Amino acid sequence: MINWISAEIPPEECKSGKEYFVTVEYNGRGNVNGRLTLVMTYEEKGKKKVPTWCWNGRIAVWKVLFWAEFPTPCQDEI
């Protein structure tokens, strides 16, 4: 089960390699409008090393609504 957290509470860690599920408010300029869930990282970017959400190594321009850590994989016993 995925535990979604409000974007007002950022992740405690700021690692470039850790990925999160992130739901953003998306405006595709007429193509797709609404919410979109992406895989993003939370990294320190820019000259001042400000923690921010990144998608494909670039600073995300969308408004982040919710984020969640990947669930731990589990397998039923065989």
Q: Could you read off the pLDDT tens digit of each residue along the chain, which spans 78 residues?
A: 788 999 999 898 887 778 999 999 987 766 667 888 999 999 988 888 889 999 998 998 889 999 999 877 777 676
For residue 76, being part of any structural domain is answered with no
Helix %, strand %, coil % of the chain (to 5): 0, 50, 50
For residue 45, being part of any structural domain is answered with yes
pLDDT for position 49:
87
For residue 75, being part of any structural domain is answered with no
For residue 16, being part of any structural domain is answered with yes
pLDDT for position 24:
93
Chain centre distance of CA 53: 6
For residue 77, being part of any structural domain is answered with no
For residue 46, being part of any structural domain is answered with yes
pLDDT for position 74:
73
Query: How many angstroms separate the CA atoms of 35 and 15, rounded?
Result: 25
For residue 24, being part of any structural domain is answered with yes
Q: What is the dihedral of CA 20, 39, 29, 58, to 10 degrees?
A: 90
For residue 74, being part of any structural domain is answered with no
Query: How many angstroms separate the CA atoms of 1 and 20, rounded?
Result: 14
Q: Which domain holds residue 15?
A: 5-69
pTM for this model (two decimals): 0.78
Q: How many domains does the chain have?
A: 1
